[in-house]
Structure 1
Amino acid sequence: MKGWKTRKLGDLIELKRGYDLPYSKREKGDFPIISSSGLSGYHSAYKVKGPGVIAGRYGTVGQIFFCRHPFWPLNTSLYIVDFRENFPRFCYYFLKTLDWHQFNDKSGVPGVNRNDVHQERVKFPPLAEQKEIAAVLGALDDKIENNRKTAATLEEMARALYRSWFVDFDPVHARAAGRAPAHMDAATAALFPDRFGEDGLPEGWHICHIGDELEIFDSKRRPLSKAQRLKKNGSIPYYGATSVMDYVDEFLFDEELLLLGEDGSVIQESGRPFTQYIWGPAWVNNHAHVLKGKNISIPHLKCFFDQVDISGFVNGAVQMKLNQSNLKKIPFLKASLIVQKKFDSIVTMWFQYIRSLREQSQTLTTLRDTLLPRLMSGELRVGKAKEMVEEVL
Structure 2
Amino acid sequence: MRWCGSSWGGSVTEWRDCTLGDFVSLQRGHDLAASQRVAGGVPVIGSGGITGWHNVAKATGPGIAIGRAANLGSPTLVETDFWPLNTTLYVTDFKGNDVRFTYYLFKSLDLTGFNSGSVQPMLNRNYIQHFPIRVPGANGQRAISNALGALDDKIAVNGRITEAALELARTLYMESSLRDGEQAELGELVELKYGKALREPDRRPGSVPVYGCTGQVGWHDSTLTAAAGAVVGRKGANAGWISWAPRPCWVIDTAFFVGVRKDYLSPEVAFLVLESAKLPGLVGDSAVPGLNREAAYRHSVRVPSKSVVQEISDRARPLMRRSAQAQDESRTLTNLRDTLLPQLMSGKLRVRAAEKIVEDAV
Alignment of 1:216 with 2:192, yes or no, is: yes
Partner of 1:383: 352
Aligned to 1:347, the other structure's residue is in SS state helix
Alignment of 1:166 with 2:141, yes or no, is: no
The one-character-per-residue Cα deviations of 1:214-243 (angstroms, maximum 9, x if unpaired) are 24321x432x6xxx5356586766544344
Alignment of 1:8 with 2:19, yes or no, is: yes
Residue 238 to residue 117, structure 1, CA distance change in 2 (3 Å): farther
- Once the two structures are superposed, the pairs formed by residues 86-235 of structure 1 within 5 Å of their partners are 86-105=97-116, 110-167=121-178, 169=179, 202=180, 207-218=183-194, 220-222=195-197, 228-229=199-200, 232=203
Residue 316 to residue 252, structure 1, CA distance change in 2 (3 Å): farther
Bigger mean CA offset, 334-343 vs 20-29: 334-343
Residue 94 to residue 308, structure 1, CA distance change in 2 (3 Å): same
RMSD of aligned alpha carbons: 2.8
Identity among equivalent positions (%) equals 31
CA deviation after TM superposition for structure 1 residue 55, in Å: 1.0
Measure, in 2, the Cα distance between the counterparts of 1:341 and 1:290: 22
TM-score (norm: length of structure 2): 0.86
Partner of 1:259: 231
Alignment equivalent of 1:277, drawn from 239, 244, 249: 244
Measure, in 1, the Cα distance between the counterparts of 2:18 and 2:295: 61
Measure, in 2, the Cα distance between the counterparts of 1:262 and 1:109: 28
The one-character-per-residue Cα deviations of 1:79-136 (angstroms, maximum 9, x if unpaired) are 1111111010100001110012122238998411122221111111010111111111
Partner of 1:24: 35
Measure, in 2, the Cα distance between the counterparts of 1:91 and 1:143: 20
Aligned to 1:307, the other structure's residue is in SS state helix
Contact 1:13 1:83 in 2 (8 A): yes
Contact 1:297 1:348 in 2 (8 A): no
Measure, in 2, the Cα distance between the counterparts of 1:32 and 1:208: 39
Aligned to 2:108, the other structure's residue is in SS state coil
Contact 1:33 1:74 in 2 (8 A): yes
Higher relative contact order (CA 8 A, sep 6+): 2
Contact 2:29 2:88 in 1 (8 A): yes
Q: Which amino acid aligns with 2:229?
A: L
Contact 2:69 2:120 in 1 (8 A): no
- Once the two structures are superposed, the pairs formed by residues 51-90 of structure 1 within 5 Å of their partners are 51-90=62-101
Residue 115 to residue 233, structure 1, CA distance change in 2 (3 Å): farther
Aligned to 2:277, the other structure's residue is in SS state coil
Alignment of 1:247 with 2:218, yes or no, is: yes
The one-character-per-residue Cα deviations of 1:180-211 (angstroms, maximum 9, x if unpaired) are xxxxxxxxxxxxxxxxxxxxxx5xx7544332
CA deviation after TM superposition for structure 1 residue 335, in Å: 4.8
Contact 1:29 1:43 in 2 (8 A): yes
Measure, in 2, the Cα distance between the counterparts of 1:310 and 1:35: 26
Alignment of 1:308 with 2:259, yes or no, is: no
Aligned length: 347
Measure, in 1, the Cα distance between the counterparts of 2:58 and 2:283: 40
The one-character-per-residue Cα deviations of 1:342-387 (angstroms, maximum 9, x if unpaired) are 1101100111111111111111111111111111111111111111
Measure, in 1, the Cα distance between the counterparts of 2:278 and 2:350: 53
Residue 311 to residue 63, structure 1, CA distance change in 2 (3 Å): closer
Partner of 2:343: 374
Partner of 2:323: 354
Measure, in 2, the Cα distance between the counterparts of 1:11 and 1:229: 40
Aligned to 2:344, the other structure's residue is in SS state helix
Contact 1:251 1:281 in 2 (8 A): no
Q: Larger radius of gyration, structure 1 or 2? A: 1
